[in-house]
């Protein structure tokens, strides 16, 4: 199934398998297809032309966004941060071909692990360990000067560890909390070393987490605790986070 949309031109070319529409966001669509050969799955991120925008402006915005995401991803990879690698891009065609990250979104795995439990979540070591790995992943990303801009548990994948070994389920097992955190969707990411920007990044995640997993809010402190140990300015970021909580994501225009 490829959805109700016409396929982007790049996916109308011959391919060994049918592209599959994975998600549709406000700005673009994500397909699963293959890069070069049938055995190399990839994610195709497509930003279709927006008919309501002036064509010249639309082309410039699309180009800019494709470019900036490709650059941020490559930069993260060079620094050893787990993000999808870039295989190819076409800023005119409006697409990016990215490494396919096997596994499931962290959101899904957390919800599976929570089930319908109402208690005992605070003592769940598996979940708490996952929280700490999330904190570490974000800290490592911030340490190299990248802020994500839209951190949620949907924008992180839990990827089963032995990426090369083919034994077991390639997408990982239901409810399994083991694996590597891979941060995805860096479409709103930017380069920044500012304490403020990093604190806002954490704040956005904190808020998103609270509404997506209200029952697990009690263990969110594990994220911050692990973050605290990842780089030199982390304690200052956490201090700033307290200010951001008081005033919200946007800085006051008064004064």
Alpha helix (H) residue ranges in 54-124: 55-78, 106-114
Is residue 20 within the footprint of another protein (CB under 8 A)? no
Q: Which string of DSSP letters, residue by residue, matches 15-67?
A: -SS--EEEEE-SS-EEEEEESSSTT-EEEEEE----TTS-HHHHHHHHHHHHH
Chain positions 100 to 139 lying near another protein, rule: CB under 8 A, are none
Q: Phi/psi zone of residue 158: left (φ > 0), alpha (ψ -120 to 50 degrees), beta?
A: beta
Among 26, 38, 52, 56, binds another protein (CB under 8 A): 38
Going by C-alpha positions, the residue among 158, 231, 253, 244 that lies closest to residue 201 is 244
Give CA–CA dist 68/47, Å, rounded.
13
Among 28, 62, 89, 106, binds another protein (CB under 8 A): 89
Are the beta carbons of 202 and 224 closer than 8 angstroms?
A: yes
Question: Which tokens in the block code for residue 141?
Answer: 């990303």
Is residue 166 within the footprint of another protein (CB under 8 A)? no
Among 22, 59, 61, 86, binds another protein (CB under 8 A): 86
The residue (of 38 and 115) whose beta carbon lies closer to another protein is 38
- Annotation says 58 is catalytic: no
Catalytic residue among 58, 90, 129, 150: 150
Site string for another protein, 177-196 (x = CB under 8 A): --------------x-----
For residue 140, the minimal CB distance to another protein (Å) is 10
User: For binding to another protein (CB under 8 A), which residues are involved?
Assistant: 10-11, 13-16, 33-38, 40, 64, 67-68, 70-71, 73-75, 77-80, 85-93, 99, 164, 191
Residues recognised as catalytic: 150
């Amino acid at each position: 199934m490829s959805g109700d949309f016409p396929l982007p031109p790049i996916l109308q070319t011959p391919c060994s398998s049918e592209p599959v529409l994975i998600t549709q966001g406000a700005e673009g669509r994500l397909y699963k297809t293959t890069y070069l050969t049938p055995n190399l799955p990839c994610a195709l991120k497509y930003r279709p032309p927006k008919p309501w925008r002036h064509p010249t402006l639309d082309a410039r915005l699309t180009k800019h966004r494709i470019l900036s995401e490709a650059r941020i991803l490559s930069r993260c990879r060079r620094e050893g941060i787990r993000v999808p690698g870039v295989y190819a891009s076409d800023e005119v065609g409006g697409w990016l071909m990215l490494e396919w990250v096997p596994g499931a979104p962290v959101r899904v795995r957390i919800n599976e692990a929570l089930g319908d439990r109402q208690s005992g979540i605070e003592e769940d070591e598996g979940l708490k360990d996952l929280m700490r790995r999330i904190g570490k992943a974000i800290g490592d990303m911030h340490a190299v000067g990248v802020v994500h801009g839209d951190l949620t548990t949907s924008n992180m994948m839990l990827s089963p560890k032995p990426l090369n070994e083919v034994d077991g389920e390639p997408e990982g097992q239901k409810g399994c909390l083991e694996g590597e955190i891979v941060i995805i969707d860096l479409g709103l990411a930017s380069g920044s070393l500012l304490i403020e920007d990093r604190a806002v990044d954490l704040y956005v995640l904190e808020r998103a987490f609270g509404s997506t997993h209200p029952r697990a809010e009690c263990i969110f402190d594990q994220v911050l605790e692990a973050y605290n140990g990842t780089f030199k300015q982390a304690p200052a970021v956490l201090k700033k986070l307290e200010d951001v909580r008081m005033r919200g994501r946007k800085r006051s225009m008064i004064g």
